[in-house]
Amino acid sequence: MALGSEEFRWPVRVYYEDTDSAGIVYHASYLRFMERARTEWLRGLGFELPVLRIEHGVLFTVSRLRIDYLRPAHFNDMLDVSLALARFGGASFVLDQEVCRAPRELLCRAEVRIACVDATSLRPRPVPQAIFTELKRDC
């Protein structure tokens, strides 16, 4: 996880729909788990995604993802999805994310770059000051 950053955690239970025919979590399901954690993290900071679009005219989109799958999760496992803000720039920020099975068995880790884009043109644009201030406070 990133140094100097508070870690956010979100619990996730593995459902049957998250698995393949062998009951092992399908690789793309980890991306959904991480997306849920990012959404809840932003919500916890006071930013609802539809409101960002309406009030600030921006969207956040994944522009780069590097992921390492280390161990499989299985149907009905309780997982802990965490994230920490690693760094941020004018129009993007990078999150370190992990998916663990209790009591801290690392299953998957990722580095995710989130780009801020204009909601209409979809072109990169600076993170609005109110959001930047909250992100900086979290770092």
The per-residue pLDDT for 5 is 52
Q: Which of the residues 20, 68, 96, 138 is marked catalytic?
A: 20
pLDDT mean for each 10 residues of the chain (139 residues): 67 97 96 97 92 94 98 97 93 97 93 97 94 78
* Gap between the Cα atoms of 120 and 131, Å rounded: 19
* Gap between the Cα atoms of 119 and 43, Å rounded: 19
Catalytic site includes residue 20 = yes
Sequence-ordered strand ranges (E) for 1-139: 7-13, 58-69, 78-88, 92-101, 105-118
- Counting beta carbons within 10 angstroms of the beta carbon of residue 21, is it exposed (0 to 12), middle (13 to 18) or buried (19 or more)? exposed
The per-residue pLDDT for 115 is 97
